[in-house]
Amino acid sequence: MSSREFEFPAIHDFPPFYTRQPTETTWQSQAQQWMDLILQYARHHRMFTLSLHQATSPGESPLFENARLQRRLSEETLQEIVELMVQQGTAKWDNGKSQALLFWHKAEDWAEILLQWVNKCGLNNTIVTFYEITQGDLAVDQEFYGMPASVLQVCLQVLVKRGVAQIFKGSGDSDDMGIKFFQ
């Protein structure tokens, strides 16, 4: 989480921004602005998941509610926006359609970031646990530090499909899973 406060764009103070617009071209513009804002906010606050119900509940998120205007985005509209994000590759449904994994870097970009980190740290041809990647000492200053295993696994699957990594199941939870990166 950044020490500086997130600065909302001017559109966040525009009352109609919180109501799904009926005209298709206006809706497309509105949805794109919401998608951009969600990803900027998530990156700033290092958010990797979004619970739709919780996020749109009164008083829960300054992202989806402007208390000064007394306006809040509906859960149904947020679900439509996240669906568009899924289509663009910046979100993935998790737990039905009540929660989404957020990708402020697309999975392919995260995969490249992870691969560069592995090369920089000399971790090729060794098995590294998911925990070491997201919580380990070598990862403390990395953008992916604190990334949930569910998001990490989506990103690592990109490398597996490319043939540059292999995932190994552990005996316990997902933090116990490992991955071997090939040179």
Summarize the confidence of residues 5-15 as an average pLDDT.
Answer: 95
**Domain check: are 17 and 86 in the same one?**
yes
What's the CATH code of the domain at 121? 1.10.10.10
Give, in order, the Cα–Cα distances in Å from 151 to each of 3, 18, 33, 60: 24, 28, 24, 23
Residue 174: band (very low, low, confident or very high) from pLDDT cuts 50, 70, 90: low
Q: Give the model confidence (pLDDT) of 68-88 as tens digits.
A: 999 999 999 999 999 999 999
Final residue belonging to a domain, choices 50, 67, 102: 102
The pLDDT value recorded for residue 47 is 94
Domain presence at residue 77:
yes
Structural domain range at position 52:
10-102
The pLDDT value recorded for residue 4 is 80
Final residue belonging to a domain, choices 102, 119, 136: 102
For residue 121, the Cα-to-chain-centroid distance in whole angstroms is 24
Q: Give the model confidence (pLDDT) of 27-54 as tens digits.
A: 999 999 999 999 999 999 999 999 999 9
Of 183 and 120, the one with more pLDDT:
120
Give, in order, the Cα–Cα distances in Å from 122 to each of 53, 103, 156: 42, 26, 17
How many folded domains does the chain comprise? 2
**Domain check: are 88 and 127 in the same one?**
no
By the 10 Å C-beta count (0-12 exposed, 13-18 middle, 19+ buried), 93 is classed as middle
- Residue 176's SS3 state is helix
Give ∠ CA 102-108-113 in degrees, rounded to 5.
90
Q: Give the model confidence (pLDDT) of 119-145 as tens digits.
A: 999 999 999 999 999 999 999 999 999
144 and 110 in contact (C-beta within 8 Å)? Answer: yes
Phi-psi group of 74: left, alpha or beta (phi > 0 → left; psi -120 to 50 → alpha; rest → beta): beta
Residue 154: band (very low, low, confident or very high) from pLDDT cuts 50, 70, 90: very high
What pTM value is reported for the model?
Answer: 0.88
Q: Give the whole-angstrom CA distance, residue 68 versus residue 22.
A: 24
Confidence check: pLDDT of 90 > 70: yes
What is the average pLDDT score of the chain? 93
